[in-house]
């Protein structure tokens, strides 16, 4: 025997139960936050790969003509990543506040600080150092910073997704 409204299996006629819909809509994060998250991660991966290759080429002593495309790719991807990270931070703050949590604990994490520090130190080493190995080490320092930023974005994504899922669970 089944309830005629919700389809719940009943043991006997007249059995009391709470009719619940079979599908409970789960709150979803805003589309702009999802897009900015994945643009940040994708740009970060491009920057990490290009700066790693750039650092390896500098350390191997490759001709400067060989490194030029990677400098261009790393520079453009870094600009895209900066814009995406700023938009991601803003969208994350708004999304967290929309779901009723404190945005400070979600947005400013260790990865963003490590990334900015690695950009300053890496570019300082790359342009103030007088050797190719200094440029290579500077590029590799930036690679480590980008990896920290990617990890921070993904960790924050996981935390925010868990926050949203936790709000969607029914309380009995």
Q: Which pLDDT belongs to residue 5?
A: 66
pTM above 0.95? no
Mean pLDDT of the chain: 83
What are the tokens at 18? 């709470």
Can you give the pLDDT at residue 168? 61
In this prediction, residue 19 carries a pLDDT of 66
pLDDT tens, position by position, 13-72:
777 766 665 555 557 888 988 999 999 999 999 999 999 998 899 889 888 888 888 889
Task: Give CA–CA dist 101/95, Å, rounded.
Answer: 9
Pull the structure tokens for residue 5.
């409204």
Question: Distance between CA 41 and CA 161 in Å, rounded?
Answer: 16
DSSP structural state of residue 26: P
């Amino acid at each position: 025997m089944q309830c005629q409204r919700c389809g719940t299996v009943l043991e006997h006629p007249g059995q009391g139960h709470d009719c619940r819909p079979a599908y409970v809509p789960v709150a979803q994060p805003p589309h702009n936050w999802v897009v900015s998250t994945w643009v940040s991660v994708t740009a970060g991966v491009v920057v990490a790969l290009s700066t790693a290759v750039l650092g390896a080429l500098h350390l191997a002593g490759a001709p400067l003509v060989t490194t030029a495309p990677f400098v261009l790719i790393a520079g453009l991807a870094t600009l895209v990543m900066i814009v995406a990270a700023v938009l991601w931070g803003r969208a994350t703050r708004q999304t967290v506040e929309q779901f009723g949590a404190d945005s400070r604990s979600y947005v400013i994490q260790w990865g963003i600080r490590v990334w900015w520090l690695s950009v300053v130190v890496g570019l300082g080493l790359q342009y103030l150092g007088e050797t190719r190995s200094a440029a290579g080490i500077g590029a590799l320092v930036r690679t480590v910073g980008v990896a920290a930023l990617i990890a921070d974005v993904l960790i924050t994504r996981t935390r925010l997704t868990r926050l949203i899922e936790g709000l969607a669970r029914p309380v009995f």
